[in-house]
């Protein structure tokens, strides 16, 4: 397991190379103030004894000198280098994902291009779905104000269902919600629609988390969290029914997973509470502060989930009855999963777990598990993972808003509605 860094930024951003040698490579800002290049980290390159870092660190520009970067990976490396000046040194997982999708469309193979196109399509749907989710969340918030019980249970699925069954009923419900929000926040309908548009765009990657939708279907970060939760449940169930050694390994993995999940959910709750605070809508300055808060908290969530999808897909693509390979994946995750950085453990949602931290108590188990690694098994898993790289985008996204929905919303926000 990699060393515990002080912060997520110190740990760097998951790049997303496809080459096996650099599959888990991360990129970070240089520690030296006089350096003008990014640094590359290869997590746990020499193994870890939980007492010192064994990550391999080099200048990011030197990666091609250390290993071959072929095709799409070479283009991605060059684009990241060019981005150092373009983004003035800023680096976060959201920015890296956008850059990665652009490179996949331009220089990826057929699978890369298809996956990137699908993710971009879903992202556009996420913004529309997010608008409905945020609108429904406001409806539930102001249900008591209007005394209308039907608002208390409204969500995106209800609105979409109404749009298909009875556009008139949906129009009536949306007008009730809009009227309640306008009354509660003391802003006009035009201003409300403009601000809902902006909120939907900013919140779309994390929409399902913010609105407490357990399906995790709206927003790519929401879907990453769903993968993380599926990994946590699967590993816990598997390890609980196996040897003591596996149970101990499962405890370590579960502690790590739970810490990252709790942190992501706590940041999403911060966004939710701010979005439902009507004082943020009373003047432009306060509203600008809300947008800034969402932007910052969204980046924190992206750092918490960054890179975990690769571990989740590795686990989820193994056959349930393939015990040797499952054991190899447990060992791989145990060795390569990130440790919670100090800033994560300072979050109140995570602090309560410190007394139950098995990472030091089970250090012996971790060392022993490292000896379980087997190159042939690892190669088998690698092939499986490469075949299902698009797993995160093929899960059910739910119906996308239709033109009929858009027309109903336009009527609901129009003057005199």
What string of H, E and C letters represents the secondary structure of 28-74?
ECCCCCCCCCCEEEECCCCCCCCCCCCCEEEEHHHHHHHCCCCCHHH
Q: What is the pLDDT of residue 164?
A: 86
d(CA 33, CA 180): 52
β-strand pairing of 39-42 with 56-59: antiparallel
How far apart CA 141 and CA 273 sit, in angstroms, is 11
- CA-CA distance, 41 to 11, in Å (whole number)? 8
Nearest to 304 by CA among 88, 22, 94: 94
Number of helices and strands in the chain (H, E): 22, 4
128 in the same domain as 13: no
Domain limits at 309?
223-282+295-396
Task: Answer yes or no: do 120 and 156 share one domain.
Answer: yes
Choose the final residue of a domain: 60, 88, 108: 108
Same domain? 258 vs 318? yes
**Strand 13-14 relative to strand 26-28: parallel, antiparallel, unpaired?**
antiparallel
Single residue among 58, 73, 108 that ends a domain in this structure: 108
Q: For residues 359 and 255, what is the distance between their CA atoms, to the nearest angstrom?
A: 8
Looking at the structure, do residues 245 and 351 belong to the same domain, yes or no? Answer: yes
Q: Which two tokens stand for residue 106?
A: 């331009």
375 and 234 within one domain: yes
CA distances from 272 to 61, 199, 288 (A): 40, 11, 16
Strand order across the beta sheet in which 56-59 lies:
13-14, 26-28, 39-42, 56-59
- Residue 287: inside a domain: no
311 & 276 share domain: yes
- Last residue of a domain, which of 85, 108, 131? 108
By the 10 Å C-beta count (0-12 exposed, 13-18 middle, 19+ buried), 161 is classed as middle
Beta-carbon contacts of 140 under 8 Å, excluding residues fewer than 6 positions away, are 151, 152, 153, 154
Structure confidence at residue 363 (pLDDT): 44
121 and 96, same structural domain? no
Assess whether 197 and 299 both reside in one domain.
no
**Does residue 32 lie within any of the structural domains?**
yes
Length of the chain: 417
* Global pTM value: 0.86
Tell me: do 206 and 235 sit in the same domain: no
**C-alpha neighbours within 13 Å on the C-beta side of residue 321:** 0
Does residue 325 sit in the same domain as residue 212?
A: no
Domain presence at residue 130? yes
Q: What is the dihedral of CA 94, 95, 101, 103, to 10 degrees?
A: -160
Do residue 278 and residue 364 come from a single domain?
yes
415 in a structural domain: yes
Q: Flag whether 288 is in a domain.
A: no
Distance (Å) of CA 143 to CA 177, 245, 253:
8, 52, 41
Q: What is the DSSP letter of 280?
A: G
Asked if residues 261 and 312 have their Cβ atoms less than 8 Å apart, the reply is: no
Residues 236 and 349 both lie in one domain: yes
Q: How many structural domains is the chain composed of?
A: 3
Residue 2 falls inside a structural domain: no
Please check whether residue 289 lies inside any domain of the structure. no
**Tens-digit pLDDT profile for the chain (417 aa)?**
556 788 999 899 999 999 999 999 999 988 766 666 899 999 877 665 544 457 889 999 999 999 999 999 999 999 999 888 777 778 999 999 999 999 999 999 999 999 999 999 999 899 989 999 998 888 888 877 767 777 888 888 888 888 888 888 888 888 888 888 888 778 888 888 888 899 999 899 999 999 999 999 999 999 999 999 999 999 999 998 888 888 888 988 998 899 999 999 999 999 999 998 888 887 888 899 999 999 999 999 999 999 999 999 999 999 999 999 999 999 999 888 888 888 888 888 887 665 556 554 444 444 444 444 455 556 666 666 666 555 555 555 566 777 778 888 888 887 555
pLDDT on residue 210: 94
**Residue 290 located in a structural domain:** no
């Amino acid at each position: 397991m990699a060393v515990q860094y002080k912060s997520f930024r110190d740990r760097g951003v998951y790049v997303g190379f496809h080459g096996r040698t650099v599959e888990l490579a991360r990129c970070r800002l240089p520690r030296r103030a006089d350096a003008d290049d990014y640094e590359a980290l290869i997590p746990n390159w020499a193994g870890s004894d939980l007492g010192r870092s064994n990550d391999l660190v080099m200048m990011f520009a030197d990666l091609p000198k250390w290993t071959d970067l072929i095709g799409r990976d070479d283009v991605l490396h060059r684009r990241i280098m060019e981005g150092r000046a373009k983004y003035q040194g800023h680096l976060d997982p959201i920015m890296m994902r956008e850059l990665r999708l652009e490179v996949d469309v331009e220089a990826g193979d057929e699978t890369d291009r298809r996956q990137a196109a699908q993710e971009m399509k879903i992202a556009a749907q996420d913004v529309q779905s997010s608008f409905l989710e945020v609108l429904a969340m406001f409806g539930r918030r102001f249900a008591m104000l209007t005394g209308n019980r039907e608002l208390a249970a409204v969500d995106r699925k209800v609105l979409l269902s109404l749009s298909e069954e009875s556009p008139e009923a949906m129009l009536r419900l949306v007008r009730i919600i809009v009227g309640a929000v306008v009354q509660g926040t003391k802003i006009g309908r035009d201003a409300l629609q403009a601000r809902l548009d902006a909120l939907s765009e900013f919140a779309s990657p994390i929409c399902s988390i913010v609105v407490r939708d357990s399906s995790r279907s709206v927003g790519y970060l929401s879907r990453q969290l769903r993968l993380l939760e599926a990994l946590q449940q699967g590993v816990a169930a598997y390890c609980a029914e196996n040897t003591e050694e596996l149970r101990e390994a499962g405890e370590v993995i579960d502690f790590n997973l739970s810490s990252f999940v709790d942190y992501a959910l706590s940041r999403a709750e911060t966004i939710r509470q701010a979005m439902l605070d009507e004082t943020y809508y009373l003047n432009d300055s306060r509203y600008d502060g809300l947008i800034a808060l969402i932007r910052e908290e969204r980046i924190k969530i992206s750092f918490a989930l960054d890179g975990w999808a690769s571990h989740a897909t590795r686990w989820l693509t193994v056959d349930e009855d393939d015990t040797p390979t499952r054991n190899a994946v447990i060992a791989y995750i145990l060795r390569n999963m990130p440790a919670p950085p100090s800033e994560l453990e300072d979050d109140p949602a995570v602090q309560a777990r410190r007394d139950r931290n098995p990472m030091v108590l089970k250090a012996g188990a971790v060392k022993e598990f490292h000896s379980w690694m087997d190159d042939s098994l690892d190669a088998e898993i690698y092939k499986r993972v490469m075949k299902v790289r698009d797993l995160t985008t093929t899960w059910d996204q739910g119906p996308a808003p239709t033109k009929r929905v858009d027309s109903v919303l336009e009527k609901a926000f129009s003057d005199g509605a």
